[in-house]
């Protein structure tokens, strides 16, 4: 079946660049930091924050040592990303079941960065979506907006537009599922220590034959050792700024 678990990192319409911290013990979700500042994605007209619930499929890994046969570029060293297109705005850290519909191959600074398009299986319209063509038919303009978002979201930071494999065309459900299966095989090699993951922290509680498997007591000690949570800093007013610029 083309149903997978998704960990929600960024709820729709929000800007904070939250992501699974692969180098930290037990891989918590943390806000990305660049040049000593918490990172927020810019609003590039006509978009406000992320235009889907954004997250990742656990137990996947885009291996930076593996050149993708479809894109000719190596992986970005992260779990595979998901853009969930349902009507509900999810909560950060929520784990939902999603139906995979297709994928977009972003080339981000020379790395392969697959974006899986999926819908929450509990969405009232989920039964109407079975492949990428259904998104084009039921939500006209959404796929084009998705390409536009990924192409330009780093431009306000002074970076060039992102590029895509396949001329920015979406691949269908079967292609997307095969990409997920491939990245799952890379993850299995990583968690079994058959591949060098570099700085990735593979400590886990559930893969019993993994050399990185730890006990509940060990995991609890890791969590207890973390610094206590504090009140969040106020969101800087510039996060709501809108950027306008000519498309190339």
> What pLDDT digit, counting tens, does each position of 89-143 carry?
999 999 999 999 999 999 988 899 999 999 999 999 999 999 999 999 999 999 9
What global pTM score does this model have? 0.94
Q: How many CB atoms lie within 10 A of CB 220?
A: 10
The size of the chain, in residues, is 248
Q: What is the pLDDT of residue 211?
A: 96
Q: What is the pLDDT of residues 143-192, one digit of tens each?
A: 999 999 999 999 999 999 999 999 999 999 999 999 999 999 999 999 99
At residue 109, the pLDDT reads 85
Q: What percent of the chain has pLDDT over 90?
A: 90
Domains detected in the chain: 3-200 (3.90.80.10)
Let me know: does 93 contact 54? Beta carbons within 8 Å.
no
The CA distance from 197 to 70, in Å, is: 22
> How many other β-carbons are positioned within 10 Å of the β-carbon of residue 244?
7
Helical residues (DSSP H) of the chain, grouped into ranges: 132-138, 142-152, 173-191, 216-225
Q: How confident is the model at residue 247 (pLDDT cuts 50, 70, 90)?
A: low
Q: To the nearest whole percent, how much of the chain has pLDDT over 70?
A: 99
Task: Answer yes or no: is pLDDT of 248 > 70.
Answer: no
- Residue 85's pLDDT is 98
Residue 231: other Cβ atoms inside 10 A: 5
């Amino acid at each position: 079946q083309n149903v997978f678990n998704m960990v929600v990192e960024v709820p729709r319409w929000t800007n904070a660049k939250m992501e699974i911290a692969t180098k930290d013990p037990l891989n918590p979700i943390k806000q990305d930091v660049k040049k000593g500042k918490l990172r927020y994605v810019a609003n590039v007209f006509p978009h406000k924050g992320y235009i889907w619930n954004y997250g990742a499929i656990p137990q996947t890994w885009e291996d930076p040592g593996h050149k993708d046969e479809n894109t000719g570029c190596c992986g970005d060293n992260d779990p595979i990303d998901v853009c969930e297109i349902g009507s509900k705005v999810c909560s950060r850290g929520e784990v939902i079941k999603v139906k995979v519909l297709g994928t977009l191959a972003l080339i981000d600074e020379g790395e392969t960065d697959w974006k899986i398009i999926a819908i929450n299986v509990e969405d009232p319209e989920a039964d109407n979506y079975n492949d990428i063509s259904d998104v084009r038919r039921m939500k006209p303009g959404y796929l084009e907006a998705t390409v536009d978002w990924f192409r330009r979201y780093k431009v306000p930071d002074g970076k060039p537009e992102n590029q895509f494999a396949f001329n920015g065309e979406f691949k269908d459900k079967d292609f997307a599922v095969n990409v997920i299966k491939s990245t799952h095989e890379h993850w299995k090699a990583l968690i079994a220590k058959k591949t060098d993951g570099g700085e990735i922290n593979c400590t886990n509680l559930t893969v019993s034959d993994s050399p990185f498997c730890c006990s509940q007591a060990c995991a609890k000690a890791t969590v207890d050792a973390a610094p206590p949570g504090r009140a969040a800093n106020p969101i800087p007013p510039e996060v709501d700024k809108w950027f306008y610029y000519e498309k190339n």
